[in-house]
Structure 1
Amino acid sequence: MALLLGFLLLLELCWDTSALGPLSSTKGSDGLEFELPATNYETKDSNQAGPISVLFQIVQVFLQVVQPHPFPEDILRKILQKKFDFSTDYDKIIYYEIGIIICAVLGLLFVILMPLVGFCFGLCRCCNKCGGEMHQRQKKNGAFLRKYFTVSLLVICIFISVGIIYGFVANHHLRTRIEKTRKLAESNLKDLRTLLIGTPAQINYVLSQYASTKEKAFSDLDNIKSLLGGGIHDELRPKVIPVLDDIKAMAEAIKETREALLNVNNTLKELKMSTAQLNTSLSDVKRNLEQSLNDPMCSVPPVATTCNNIRMSLGQLDDNTNLGQLPSLDKQIDNINNVLQTDLSSLVQKGYKSFNDIPEMVQNQTTDIVSDVKRTLNSLGSDIENMSEQIPIQDKLSDFIGYINDTETYIHRNLPTLEEYDSYRWLGGLIVCCLLTLIVVFYYLGLMCGTFGYDRHATPTRRGCVSNTGGIFLMVGVGISFLFCWILMTIVVLTFVIGGNMEKLVCEPYQNRKLFQILDTPYLLNENWKYYLSGMVLNKPDINLTFEQVYSDCKENKGIYSTLKLENTYNISEHLNIQEHARNLSNDFKNMNVNIDNIVLLDAAGRKNLMDFSSSGVDTIDYNVYLAEMGKTPTKVNLLSFADDLDTKANNLPQGSLKQSLKNNAQNLKTIHHGQVMPLEQSMSTINQSIKELQHKSSGLRVKVANILSSLDSAQDFLQTRISSVIVKESSKYGNMIIGYFEHYLQWVKISITEQIAACKPVATALDSAVDVFLCSYIIDPMNLFWFGIGKATIFLLPAIIFAVKLAKYYRRMDSEDVYDEPSLPGKQMRQLEAYKFTRTCGIALDLHTQNKVRIWLFTEFHYLPPS
């Protein structure tokens, strides 16, 4: 009852301390992470019995066989409602308890009959009956019976020993668990204190985290330039920046085109001069050769042929190009120079600057809105900071801590008494186990002495001392068994009835939670309340709040708020009024007026500059003419080959001025080739590449400029017509981000209060510790194992007595024995003898004439006499 009262008081306290309730919120935003500090408890969730749990399960299986009926829920409900009439409903109790009743009746019969049987057995033996006569009848199967009785008694003793071991183990286990009770109680009380003391601290911690949320929001508000302005800037970037980049690239292309035109034009002028010089040089060589060929030797027939050949090849020493006919590029250069008078690059930079100033414009235009939002957040912060002071939890905490202190005082005051009583119980259990141990020890000693001391050649009257001692041990065991077995069975019956019913009526239904289901029966504990727990905690008995649900939620370590459904009595959202603040914040951001429609990407001068460039005539130049001339060789013939051929022909001439003149002209041609032709070829190749690049840059110039102007118009139109929707979109996104911080915070508050703050696992653990651990695991399980082991040993005492009495005849030394022959007898009063073969050295003679007694004679020789 005290445990139930403490449990209910704890529920009431948690109701008061957790009345904050959950906050309504949406999915939280990124950037804020909250985590409630974890609370560590000492008490373990489950109790492990160790290897002995297998023995407990064996006992539970036995009880299931004895008591297979389901838990009597209807009977218990009637008892709690005080509607159970024993005079009419006793048959239901008998039906449920029939297995335990039968076992208890059998045990009581054992208790009553065993002392009576032992008393009669003792009187009978004192009268030399019931095996009390120290005479052993000899049988043909005597050896087999002795072995059978020995093995049977040994097996029975083993079973008895197992039961005694169960008793010792259970007795010791119960004592060690009682010693752990103090630690278990202190651990649970400490966990409850941790729960009670930590709950206000957790609430204060949750409320204090608003400062972190507000700090993050203020940081983002102060950084509105990059967050909101940067967002608008990034949204417009894909439409604006490519156009500006194209114009910038075109401005660079104008400069590069001018440089290329100048380079081509200047190089072309140099090529014309070089070509003229080359013509002059070739003309000089040609004239010298003609003069040399006028030498008289050329008229001589062998030389004439050579001279004629040389004279015919002189026409190849001419210029191969017409560079002088190529038009000049001065006009195009002048047009480009006129275009460059307007600095298009600076105009583009103005467009970049105008576009990049959007974040700064946003910051300047939202100063008042940021101030209003900060005031709203400060107002909300004040409400949250005052929240902990408005919740009356300190008084309730103090009251319940007083209950815990009283409970601890009660435990400390009464636990020594429990430990003292347990010491008496432990001593009694030890005595019971030792008494059974003494009995089975006598049986073991009897078996050992009788087995090892038995001599099959010895007669019953001449058995050895060891064998006789074994028989005495067996009879001592029998005597002690008769003296104490009924006391042992009395203890077994009492503990069986108590322990068995506690297991079936308390422990088992607590573990499968049927006890909670009974307590949750509507109108059971209070006829005016449908649900007792909700009526007591919430004062609203119609709310479906059950003991089973509360226990399950506490077992899962859920918060008291959701466990006790406290949202039916206290809603923190209404007290914080966060919805009104959220609407105000949302309206502030929606009404944000940012004007950035005066952005000019490129002015009229820049546009005219682009148009002038497209009409500069660069794209109308006939580049193919230039490329064709530059692709020619400077001379019609390779001067080196011509010079080598001339030199070869000169070598075939006889010595003289002609030969020497030809060699000199050949050398001049080589000099012209290296000094003029090769540089001219290199210059022509370079200008050829320059012309190709210029051709590539100017290709489609008008189309490129037209496309750039079209993109520019599109971007400018987008800035003028669509920028307002972009501002609204980004403002809403920015506002949702700021509000999202608080929604995320409130969502965390809701989760913390409903699932983490005042998590009631210590309550379920304390209840488990009281019922499942202390009552069932510490007391009932070892108690049941004790009566199971002792009862098993006591039951097996009955067959042990029978076999021990039977076996003792084969071990003890007899006073008389059977005789089978008639030796030389003193001739007195024997009319007729019948002899039976018995041993080699002894016999028995029966005086048949005498009817009332048997006379026994011992002989030293054996003679067989047939019956007369």
Structure 2
Amino acid sequence: MTLTLRVLLLLGLCWNTISEGPPSSPKSPAGLEFQLPSTNYETKDSYTPGPIGVLFQMVHVFLHVVQPNAFPEDILRKIIQKKFDLSTDYEKPESVVLTLKVVHYEMGIIVCATLGLLFVVLMPVVGLCFGLCRCCNRCGGEMHQRQKRNGAFLRKCYAVSLLVTCVVISLGIISGFVANEHLRAQILQTRKLAGSNFRDLRTLLNETPSQISYVLGQYTTAKEKAFSDLDNIKSLLGGGIQEQLRPKAIPVLDDIKAMAAAIKETREALLNVNKTLGELKKSTARLSTSLQDVKTNLEQSLNDPGCSVQPERATCDDVRTTLNQLDDNTNLGQLPSLDKQIDNITHVLQTDLSSLVQEGYKSFNDIPESVQNQTVDVVSGIKSTLNSIGSHIENVKEQISIQNKLTGFSDQIDDVETYVHRTLPALEEYNSYRWLGGLVACSVLTLIVTFYYLGLLCGLCGYDRNATPTRRGCVSNTGGVFLMVGVGISFLFCWILMIIVVLSFVVGGNVEKLVCEPYQSKKLFQILDTPYLINEEWKYYLSGMVLNKPDINLTFEQVYSDCKDNKGVYTALKLENIYNISDCLDTQQFTQNVSSDFENMEVNIDNIVLLDAAGKKNLQDFISSGVDRIDYGAYLAETAKTPTKVNLLTFAHGLEEKANQLPQGSLKRSLASNAQTVRMIYHGQVVPLESPMKTLHQSIQDLQHQSSGLGVKVHSIISSLDAAQNFIANSLSSVIVQETKKYGNMIIGYFEYYLQWVKISIMEKVAACKPVATALDSVVSVFLCGYIIDPMNLFWFGIGKATLFLLPALIFAVKLAKYYRRMDSEDVYDDVETIPMKNMQTGNIGFHRHQTTQNL
């Protein structure tokens, strides 16, 4: 145990006293993650005996029944305080009380052991007396069987009872064989178990320096990450400042850019509308002229004399009433042109607003470049400081001269391993002798029960219920002889077997109750952790031995539990009470320098102009252009009309029908000719007008929608521009300070995270002492309790049960042998009497003894 604790102290070689607890797990910065390589160990965490574990549990239940008392913590404490010497001052009252408590606790085992010793003493005596009596024809030694009315019933009862007893004995023998072989096999596994534990301990020793080197070496990873971010200050710091200004600046610039595009689009739309409107005015004028000519021709044709007589007069009057439909339906010529608005927009576009907006974008996008140019010297100084921290870390690695210390402990482990491997052959040899002795014991029991089985088999198979006792068959007689041989062997060896049972029971039962069970429940550790128990001057023995501070609450139970959970030795042994991992890694001076560099970093960005005065004047001129004051209603009303009042095709068709009603002549030809002219006007002038008018109507609608609320929009853009420019002017310095602090905290955070990770790794992960707890479990729980005590207890439980049941078995065997063996004499009934007569000499009823030489 001392060796183990010395191994676990190695990590504290360079650290000074602190009182802080283990730090909490830090949150890793983005892009920086440390992971200590895991260590794999060979020895399993737990031991399972397999199917035989059910038998072990059965023995545990039996021991609990025999020894139901709770673990005697107070008794053991007092015994340890007396240095395990109970012979001194035995007359003192406290010694007497302690002895009585020990006897009371061991009462169950003492009673069982006493009964076993009585068995050992009485069985040879009883066997000797039994043998002498049998030789004197007493105790059933006389070869004469008295006839009884219930003889058949008794024979069957004895046979069944003996069979059941033999089955119970057989189960005990099987348990003995299994336990004996299991113990032998497990002892052979001890070499493998010891080897894996020693390899795990060496792995712990060998991995500890590399783990420390790995942990300290990860500073390079943190430094490279910091250097990468320092080289990327343009996007990280400059981009951060940009992101703070973006919600204010970019939307305004986007709106101005969109407005610049809208101004150009408005001019194009005005030009298009104005051009289309001019063309339509000319087309409608030509259409009006053409219609007026047709109307004049029709009026002249209707003055024909043929229209003065009936029925032609009615037709002519009808045509005359429709002449007013041949008029132009639109007043496009009265709509004013858009030349003034176009001239105003053209004047506005003389200032390139898009270029001014691009200048605003450029001044905003130049922020990262400006930040980088102004922080070259600061970044260089910070890198120099970080390199100094790296040199300090390298010096820390050199200060930890742990490898030389580990070599000494490795040599001690080699010595222990050499001793174990030198002792194991002797243990295996002694185990072979023990295995042979257990095999002989089980074989003796097997021999006895075999004779009983053979006796039962021969007796049952050879028994003839019609044969008299003096004429029983050879097979039946052999069965009786087998039974008596089994009885004789039982008397000869059962007391020796009981000696083995008592000795192994006392040892195995006490080890199970006093070592194995309290070890599993950690009560053994609680006893060792009793203040002032092992050393009267130390409150806590382990803290006094490890920390040289016996008042610190460092217990065996806590150390074992922490090591079982694979925690680091620093946490398990509470090395924070004597060693400070922060002193060797104290880089506070360096980090303060880095913080000061960031605090003193000066970044001046005073050239951000989103839009100059010319651009603002350009926007205001656009408002005064008059685009939003155009009478779009008039334009839409006229462009929505059809070019003519009526459909000219319908008019032409009606005119032809009326002409057809007239008789042949000039009037009819004139009307038909004018109808054809109307059709030509429709196809040549009206149809080409319809599509442009629809297009013009849609263009005017779009222009109206585009110019709707133009003043409000531009005023809103100008207000937003002024607000954004004021924010940049008034808040830019605070934004720079805020982002610089955030950026500096990010760089310093890498090293704070690294140092925090180093502390956690040293405290909880480096030199994780699980192999120590596993080695202790292997010695106590696996080797002592699992490999030795459990099979030993099963062995004495099995052969003890078998030996104990030999007592009723031999009684049943002796009784049953009378029914199978051939007798020298027997009781014979008188044939002449139906009711037995009393023989005065023998005292029997109705029969007299008859020698086997007589004929019946």
> Normalized against structure 2, the TM-score is what?
0.95
1:160 touches 1:796 (CA, 8 Å); kept in 2? yes
| Alignment counterpart, residue 748 of structure 1, candidates 740, 757, 781 | 757
| Alignment counterpart, residue 157 of structure 2, candidates 120, 125, 148 | 148
2:253 touches 2:610 (CA, 8 Å); kept in 1? yes
Q: Are 2:8 and 1:7 aligned?
A: no
Q: Are 2:73 and 1:79 aligned?
A: no
Deviations 1:25-65 (A, max 9, x none): 85331211221111111111111111111111111111111
Residue 837 of structure 1 and its aligned partner are, at CA, apart by 6.1
Residue 836 of structure 1 and its aligned partner are, at CA, apart by 8.2
1:844 touches 1:858 (CA, 8 Å); kept in 2? no
Residue 303 of structure 1 and its aligned partner are, at CA, apart by 1.6
Separation (CA, whole Å) in 2 of partners of 1:772 and 1:597: 77
Separation (CA, whole Å) in 1 of partners of 2:681 and 2:446: 136
Q: What corresponds to 1:264 in structure 2?
A: 273
1:499 touches 1:784 (CA, 8 Å); kept in 2? yes
Q: What corresponds to 2:555 in structure 1?
A: 546
Equivalent AA in structure 2 for residue 459 of structure 1: T
Deviations 1:333-377 (A, max 9, x none): 111111111111101110111111111111111112211221121
| Alignment counterpart, residue 402 of structure 1, candidates 411, 428, 433 | 411
Q: Are 2:636 and 1:627 aligned?
A: yes
Q: Are 2:360 and 1:363 aligned?
A: no
Residue 628 of structure 1 and its aligned partner are, at CA, apart by 2.0
Q: What corresponds to 2:661 in structure 1?
A: 652
2:17 touches 2:578 (CA, 8 Å); kept in 1? no
User: What secondary structure does 1:722 align onto?
Assistant: helix
Identical pairs, percent: 72
Equivalent AA in structure 1 for residue 450 of structure 2: V
Residue 443 of structure 1 and its aligned partner are, at CA, apart by 0.6
1:26 touches 1:743 (CA, 8 Å); kept in 2? no
User: What secondary structure does 1:301 align onto?
Assistant: coil
| Residues 499-514 of structure 1 aligned to structure 2 (within 5 Å) | 499-514=508-523
Q: What corresponds to 2:47 in structure 1?
A: 47
User: What secondary structure does 2:518 align onto?
Assistant: helix
Separation (CA, whole Å) in 2 of partners of 1:442 and 1:24: 73
1:320 touches 1:635 (CA, 8 Å); kept in 2? yes
2:15 touches 2:583 (CA, 8 Å); kept in 1? no
| Alignment counterpart, residue 594 of structure 1, candidates 603, 606, 621 | 603
Alignment CA distance shift 1:856-1:274 (3 Å): closer
Q: What's the Cα RMSD here?
A: 2.2
Q: Which moved more, 1:684-693 or 1:453-462?
A: 684-693
User: What secondary structure does 1:819 align onto?
Assistant: strand
Alignment CA distance shift 1:131-1:300 (3 Å): same
Q: Which moved more, 1:259-268 or 1:168-177?
A: 259-268
Separation (CA, whole Å) in 1 of partners of 2:15 and 2:436: 49
Separation (CA, whole Å) in 1 of partners of 2:176 and 2:616: 108
Residue 20 of structure 1 and its aligned partner are, at CA, apart by 12
User: What secondary structure does 2:748 align onto?
Assistant: helix
Residue 776 of structure 1 and its aligned partner are, at CA, apart by 0.6
2:824 touches 2:852 (CA, 8 Å); kept in 1? no
Separation (CA, whole Å) in 2 of partners of 1:79 and 1:588: 68
Separation (CA, whole Å) in 2 of partners of 1:461 and 1:24: 95
Separation (CA, whole Å) in 1 of partners of 2:788 and 2:336: 120
Separation (CA, whole Å) in 2 of partners of 1:321 and 1:13: 106
Q: What corresponds to 1:190 in structure 2?
A: 199
Q: What corresponds to 2:781 in structure 1?
A: 772
Deviations 1:511-539 (A, max 9, x none): 11111111111122222221111121122
| Residues 340-379 of structure 1 aligned to structure 2 (within 5 Å) | 340-379=349-388
Separation (CA, whole Å) in 2 of partners of 1:767 and 1:859: 78
Equivalent AA in structure 2 for residue 8 of structure 1: L
Residue 323 of structure 1 and its aligned partner are, at CA, apart by 2.0
Equivalent AA in structure 1 for residue 79 of structure 2: I
Q: What corresponds to 1:703 in structure 2?
A: 712
Q: What corresponds to 1:723 in structure 2?
A: 732
Q: Which moved more, 1:294-303 or 1:748-757?
A: 294-303
Separation (CA, whole Å) in 1 of partners of 2:462 and 2:24: 91
Deviations 1:645-666 (A, max 9, x none): 1111111112222222211111
Deviations 1:802-856 (A, max 9, x none): 1111111111111111133389xxxxxxxxxxx8868xxxx9977679xxxx974
1:150 touches 1:807 (CA, 8 Å); kept in 2? yes
Unmatched segments (≥5 aa) in structure 1: 824-834, 863-868
Deviations 1:680-712 (A, max 9, x none): 232222211112222222222222211111111
User: What secondary structure does 1:352 align onto?
Assistant: helix
Deviations 1:781-820 (A, max 9, x none): 1111111111111111111111111111111111111133
Q: Which moved more, 1:325-334 or 1:194-203?
A: 325-334
Equivalent AA in structure 1 for residue 503 of structure 2: L
Unmatched segments (≥5 aa) in structure 2: 91-95
User: What secondary structure does 2:350 align onto?
Assistant: coil
Q: Are 2:427 and 1:418 aligned?
A: yes
| Residues 496-645 of structure 1 aligned to structure 2 (within 5 Å) | 496-645=505-654
Residue 740 of structure 1 and its aligned partner are, at CA, apart by 2.0
Q: What corresponds to 2:805 in structure 1?
A: 796
Count of residue pairs the alignment pairs up = 840
Q: Which moved more, 1:570-579 or 1:427-436?
A: 570-579
Alignment CA distance shift 1:859-1:67 (3 Å): closer
> Normalized against structure 1, the TM-score is what?
0.93
Alignment CA distance shift 1:71-1:836 (3 Å): farther
Separation (CA, whole Å) in 1 of partners of 2:758 and 2:794: 50
Deviations 1:269-325 (A, max 9, x none): 112211221122122212222332333333332222222322332232222222222
Separation (CA, whole Å) in 2 of partners of 1:847 and 1:197: 98
Residue 500 of structure 1 and its aligned partner are, at CA, apart by 0.9
Equivalent AA in structure 1 for residue 43 of structure 2: T
Separation (CA, whole Å) in 2 of partners of 1:787 and 1:409: 33
Q: What corresponds to 2:27 in structure 1?
A: 27
Separation (CA, whole Å) in 1 of partners of 2:716 and 2:707: 15
| Alignment counterpart, residue 819 of structure 1, candidates 779, 804, 828 | 828
Equivalent AA in structure 2 for residue 398 of structure 1: T
Separation (CA, whole Å) in 2 of partners of 1:848 and 1:328: 166
Residue 643 of structure 1 and its aligned partner are, at CA, apart by 1.0
Residue 859 of structure 1 and its aligned partner are, at CA, apart by 10
2:826 touches 2:849 (CA, 8 Å); kept in 1? no
Alignment CA distance shift 1:102-1:734 (3 Å): same
Q: What corresponds to 2:93 in structure 1?
A: none
Separation (CA, whole Å) in 2 of partners of 1:472 and 1:731: 108
2:459 touches 2:477 (CA, 8 Å); kept in 1? yes
Residue 451 of structure 1 and its aligned partner are, at CA, apart by 1.2
Separation (CA, whole Å) in 2 of partners of 1:609 and 1:495: 111
1:55 touches 1:785 (CA, 8 Å); kept in 2? yes
1:461 touches 1:814 (CA, 8 Å); kept in 2? yes
Q: What corresponds to 1:241 in structure 2?
A: 250
Separation (CA, whole Å) in 1 of partners of 2:44 and 2:24: 35
Q: What corresponds to 1:458 in structure 2?
A: 467
1:19 touches 1:561 (CA, 8 Å); kept in 2? no
Alignment CA distance shift 1:26-1:591 (3 Å): farther
Separation (CA, whole Å) in 2 of partners of 1:512 and 1:676: 112
Q: What corresponds to 1:471 in structure 2?
A: 480
| Residues 116-195 of structure 1 aligned to structure 2 (within 5 Å) | 116-195=125-204
Separation (CA, whole Å) in 2 of partners of 1:26 and 1:151: 76
Alignment CA distance shift 1:45-1:355 (3 Å): same
Equivalent AA in structure 2 for residue 7 of structure 1: T
Separation (CA, whole Å) in 2 of partners of 1:144 and 1:26: 85
Q: Which moved more, 1:762-771 or 1:81-90?
A: 81-90
2:287 touches 2:328 (CA, 8 Å); kept in 1? yes
Alignment CA distance shift 1:375-1:155 (3 Å): same
Alignment CA distance shift 1:167-1:858 (3 Å): closer
